Every structure is written in structure tokens, then in C-alpha cells.
Amino acid sequence: MKIAVMAGTPIDTNMGAVLLEKNGFSENEIIRIPVSENPVKQTIFQTSETEYKEKVINGHIDNIKKAGCNVLFVYCNSLSGAVDFEKLQKKNDINIVTPMQVYREIADKYKKIAVFAANAQGLAGIENAMFKGNSNINITGMTFLEIVKEIEKGTLPEVIAEKFHFGKLAEYLKNLGNEAILLGCTHFPYIENEIRKKSEMEIINPSQKMLEKLKWES
């Protein structure tokens, strides 16, 4: 069995592949599909016309199906929010796992939650998914494309935490009444430990529930 990991850039595509390898999948089972070269080009792709985005993703799906792959693991929040993967799943008869499925399921556990996203496309997708799961949820949304760029450059997590004032940010979000911080970008587990050091709130990383779905789908 082969599993395709699709993400916005080579960096987060590799992060998704490494996650699978650490959880029992062999390297030979994994096909890597970065959609763009870097975060800026990925943001441009996500804001392009729906028809164009679907054409590009459909092309990738055709290729992985020819390679004998029957599961697509979309390890990118903003991409899964900018493309209707439920529609593409039905059209292409392929199992697709995305973070948005997780957000819809966990939304009813919270009254107020802070969401860290890469860009507004991802934030809008997460908001839409969570409102489908809980129409009364209150979301404090924040976008951090500059942090994504730092992660792509390999900047140390503690340096990023200091540069972007994680302590003050966590205090601000707590004062607003948020119960948790959702890591709404698959780059952000890279800085998860630094966020935990600065925040008393629950930190939600959707990766584990995505893995559970993946194992069920596969």
C-alpha cells in the first residue's frame, strides 16, 4: 500500500512524511507531493481561481493513483482550507485525510479558542470547519506567514519564540478568555514546545487524530 503526502512546500511535505515514518509507515510506502516551491508561492496558489487549483490537485491525484496509491494525506492546513478535498475525494474515488476533518470533530469541546494559521486562506478554512462542528464557538484567529518563513529557513525554535514574543502573545490570548491554542499550520509543531513553555492553555496539535484517521482509511 502506498500513501501520498501532499503539502504546500517541500519542507512541510517532508514533515508529513517523517511523521508517518515515526508512526510505522515505511519510506517505500510514501509518495511526497509538494504543491509549491515556498510559502509565498503556495499562498499565491491558494488564492488563485478554484478551477485552476482543482486542475492542479486533480493532476497530482491522477499521478498517485497510477502509482498504486489509494490514500492522500494532506499535511497542510491552509491548502486543505483553500481546496474542496471532499469534492475531489468523491470525484476521484480516493480516500483523503485532511486537518479540516479533525477541526470539525473537536470544535464542540470548546467555547473559545485561539487559532494560529499560516495565512488567511488557512484561517478561513479552519473557521468554516469549526463552525460546522459548533456554530457557537468563538475563534480568535491569527496568521503568521513570517513564522512559517523562519521555520522554512531552519531558524531555531527558541529564536523564533523570542522574535515573535510568544510569552506576551500567550498572555494576551489567555486574557481574552481562550481555552486553548490550535496549531492551525502543519509547520507549527516545530515550535510547539516553545509555545507550551509560554502558555498555560491547552495546545492542540491535530497530527495524532489525522494519523488515526489515516490508519482507519488505509
Output the pLDDT for position 121.
83
Q: How confident is the model at residue 217 (pLDDT cuts 50, 70, 90)?
A: low
Output the pLDDT for position 85.
93
Is residue 72 predicted with pLDDT exceeding 80? yes
62 close to 29: Cβ distance less than 8 angstroms = no
Q: What is the mean pLDDT of residues 58-73?
A: 93
Is residue 211 predicted with pLDDT exceeding 70? yes
- Under 8 Å CB-to-CB from 124, ≥6 apart: which residues? 81
pLDDT in tens, 91-114: 998 999 999 999 999 999 999 999
- Dist CA 78 CA 81 (whole Å): 5
Output the pLDDT for position 81.
84
129 close to 105: Cβ distance less than 8 angstroms = no
Percent of the chain with pLDDT over 70: 98
Q: How confident is the model at residue 212 (pLDDT cuts 50, 70, 90)?
A: confident
Q: What is the mean pLDDT of residues 138-159?
A: 95
Is residue 55 predicted with pLDDT exceeding 60? yes
134 close to 163: Cβ distance less than 8 angstroms = no
Q: What is the mean pLDDT of residues 134-144?
A: 96
- Dist CA 41 CA 181 (whole Å): 27
102 close to 127: Cβ distance less than 8 angstroms = no
Is residue 216 predicted with pLDDT exceeding 80? no
102 close to 75: Cβ distance less than 8 angstroms = no
DSSP category for residue 110: -
Q: What is the mean pLDDT of the chain?
A: 92
